[in-house]
Amino acid sequence: MPRSIHDNYVLGYSVNHPGRSIVVRTEKRQSGQPLERTDIRFEGVLGYHFRDSLGGILTDVYPCDLESLMRDSSFSLLFKGWADWAWPFQGCDGDPVAHARAAGAIAYCVDSAIGFDGFVVCQSMTIEAAQHGAAADDRPQAGDRG
C-alpha cells in the first residue's frame, strides 16, 4: 500500500540544483507526537514554485495538466512574469508545454490545508519512507528552504 502524505506536516525541503531534484520532508503526527516520516522526492526537475514554505499540512500531491496550471489564476501571473527572466524552464526558448513534454516531464500540484502549496514540473515523483535518521532531520541541510 502506498504511503499517504495526507495531513502530514512539512518539516522542510531540500533543492539539489545540479542534480535537478527536490526532497520534501514530512511527518505524520498522532496526538501531537511524531508517528512516521515520509519523503516526497521529485527527480529531473525543470522548474518549481512553493508558496508559504515555512511549514504546512499537506493534503495531496498529484499529477496536473501543465497548460491548465499556467492558466490557473493563482499561478498565471507567475508564468507571465517569469517569461521575462528565461522561465519557466532553463533552456526553453519557446512553448514551455512542448519543452516539458520533450523532456519527458509532467506537472505535479502540491496542495495543503495550511501553509504550503505550489507545483513541480519534473520527470518523476515518488513518496517513500524517510531515508534519514531522526537526529539529522532536525539539523539544517545544504540547500534547505523551509
How many domains does the chain fold into? Answer: 1
Instruction: Determine if the pTM surpasses 0.75.
Output: yes
User: How many helical (H) and strand (E) elements, i.e. helices and strands, does the chain have?
Assistant: 4, 8
**Residue entry with cell 504546512:** 56
123 belongs to a structural domain: yes
pLDDT at position 142, please?
46
142 belongs to a structural domain: no
Are 38 and 15 within 8 A, CB to CB?
no
4 belongs to a structural domain: no
Distance CA 101, CA 80 (A): 19
13 belongs to a structural domain: yes
Are 57 and 8 within 8 A, CB to CB?
yes
146 belongs to a structural domain: no
Q: What is the mean pLDDT of residues 95-105?
A: 89
64 belongs to a structural domain: yes
Strand order across the 47-51 sheet: 47-51, 117-122, 106-114, 57-64, 9-16, 21-30, 33-43, 124-129
Q: What is the pLDDT of residues 38-80, one digit of tens each?
A: 999 999 999 888 987 677 999 999 999 988 887 776 666 776 6
| pLDDT surpasses 70 at 120 | yes
**Residue entry with cell 524552464:** 89
65 belongs to a structural domain: yes
Domain that holds residue 99: 9-137
3 belongs to a structural domain: no
Element (H, E) at 134: helix 134-137
